[in-house]
A and B are shown apart, each in its own frame.
Chain A
Amino acid sequence: MAANPMTQFEVYRIGPEIKVGAFDISFTNASLFMVISSLAILIIFNLGSKKNSLLPNKIQLLAELSYTFVSKMISDTAGSKAKPYFSFIFSLFMFVLFCNMFGMIPYTFTVTSHIIVTFVLAAFIFIGVTIIGFIKHGLGYLKLFVPSGVPIVLLPLIVVIEIISYLSRPISLSVRLFANMMAGHTMMKVFGGFVISLGVVGGWLPLSFSVALTGLEILVAFLQAYVFAILTCIYLNDALNLHH
Chain B
Amino acid sequence: MVKKIFFQLIFFNLFFLKEVFAAESGGMPQLNPEFWISQIFWLTLTFGILYIVLSKLILPKISANLELRKSQIQENIEAAEKQRESSEAKLKEYDDIISKSKLEANNIFKEARENVLKEINTKKETLDKQIDEEIKKVEQEINLLRKGASEKINKIAIETTSELLVKLIGTEVNNSSISAIVDDLSKRNGDKYYGN
Contacts of B51 in A (CB 8 A): 87-88, 91
Question: Once the chains bind, are A202 and B12 in contact (CB under 8 Å)?
Answer: yes
Question: Once the chains bind, are B39 and A11 in contact (CB under 8 Å)?
Answer: yes
* CB contact list, A86-132 vs B, under 8 A: 86-88, 90-91, 94-95, 111, 113-117, 120-121
Contact mask for chain B residues 1-39; partner A; CB cutoff 8 A; 1 contact, 0 none:
000010011001101100110011010111110111111
> Is residue B54 contacting chain A, with contact meaning CB distance below 8 A?
yes
Residue of A7, A121, A197 near B12 (CB, 8 A) is: A197
Of chain B, the residue at the smallest CB distance from A42 is B53
Contacts of B31 in A (CB 8 A): 115
Question: Once the chains bind, are B8 and A38 in contact (CB under 8 Å)?
Answer: no
* CB contact list, B113-136 vs A, under 8 A: none
Contact mask for chain A residues 16-60; partner B; CB cutoff 8 A; 1 contact, 0 none:
000000011111101100110110011001101100101000001
Q: What is the bound-complex CA distance between A52 and B49, given in angstroms?
A: 25
Contacts of A27 in B (CB 8 A): 38, 42
Contacts of A94 in B (CB 8 A): 50, 54
Contacts of A30 in B (CB 8 A): 35, 38-39, 42
Contacts of B20 in A (CB 8 A): 4-5, 190
> Is residue B65 contacting chain A, with contact meaning CB distance below 8 A?
yes
Known contacts A54-B72, A182-B30, A202-B5: A114-B54 contact under CB 8 Å:
no
Of the listed stretches A61-69, A142-150, A159-167, A235-243, chain B binds A61-69
Of chain A, the residue at the smallest CB distance from B13 is A194
Q: In angstroms, how far is the closest chain A Cβ from the Cβ of B49?
A: 7
Question: Once the chains bind, are B29 and A197 in contact (CB under 8 Å)?
Answer: no
> Is residue B43 contacting chain A, with contact meaning CB distance below 8 A?
yes
Q: How many residues of chain A get a CB closer than 8 Å to chain B's CBs?
A: 60
Q: In angstroms, how far is the closest chain B Cβ from the Cβ of A197?
A: 5
Interface residues on B, range: 35 or more
Of the listed stretches B55-63, B85-93, B144-152, B181-189, chain A binds B55-63
Q: A25-B37, A25-B42 are in contact. List 17 more A-B contacts (CB 8 A).
A: A1-B19, A6-B23, A6-B29, A9-B28, A28-B42, A34-B46, A45-B58, A48-B62, A64-B66, A90-B54, A91-B50, A95-B47, A117-B43, A120-B44, A190-B20, A197-B15, A197-B16
30 inter-chain pairs at a CB distance below 8 angstroms, sorted by A residue, are A1-B19, A2-B19, A6-B24, A11-B29, A23-B41, A30-B35, A30-B38, A30-B42, A34-B46, A38-B50, A41-B50, A42-B50, A48-B62, A49-B65, A52-B64, A52-B65, A54-B73, A68-B66, A87-B55, A91-B50, A94-B50, A111-B43, A116-B36, A120-B39, A182-B28, A194-B16, A197-B12, A202-B5, A202-B9, A205-B9
Question: Once the chains bind, are A5 and B23 in contact (CB under 8 Å)?
Answer: yes
Q: Is the interface of B mostly helix, strand, loop or mixed?
A: helix
Question: Once the chains bind, are A113 and B59 in contact (CB under 8 Å)?
Answer: no
Q: What is the bound-complex CA distance between A28 and B34, given in angstroms?
A: 11
Q: What is the interface of chain B, defined by CB distance below 8 A to chain A?
A: 5, 8-9, 12-13, 15-16, 19-20, 23-24, 26, 28-32, 34-44, 46-47, 49-51, 53-55, 57-59, 61-66, 68-69, 72-73
Question: Once the chains bind, are A23 and B55 in contact (CB under 8 Å)?
Answer: no
Residue of A38, A52, A198 near B47 (CB, 8 A) is: A38
Of chain A, the residue at the smallest CB distance from B37 is A23
Question: Once the chains bind, are A116 and B39 in contact (CB under 8 Å)?
Answer: yes
**6 residue pairs, one from A and one from B, having the closest CB atoms:** A87-B55, A31-B42, A4-B23, A49-B61, A52-B65, A34-B46
Contacts of B8 in A (CB 8 A): 198, 201-202
Of chain B, the residue at the smallest CB distance from A8 is B29
Contact mask for chain A residues 68-83; partner B; CB cutoff 8 A; 1 contact, 0 none:
1000000000000000
Of chain A, the residue at the smallest CB distance from B65 is A52
Contacts of B62 in A (CB 8 A): 45, 48-49, 63-64, 67
Contacts of B42 in A (CB 8 A): 25, 27-28, 30-31, 34-35
Q: What is the bound-complex CA distance between A170 and B50, given in angstroms?
A: 22
Q: What is the bound-complex CA distance between A178 and B31, given in angstroms?
A: 12
Q: In angstroms, how far is the closest chain B Cβ from the Cβ of A21?
A: 10
Q: What is the bound-complex CA distance between A90 and B13, given in angstroms?
A: 43
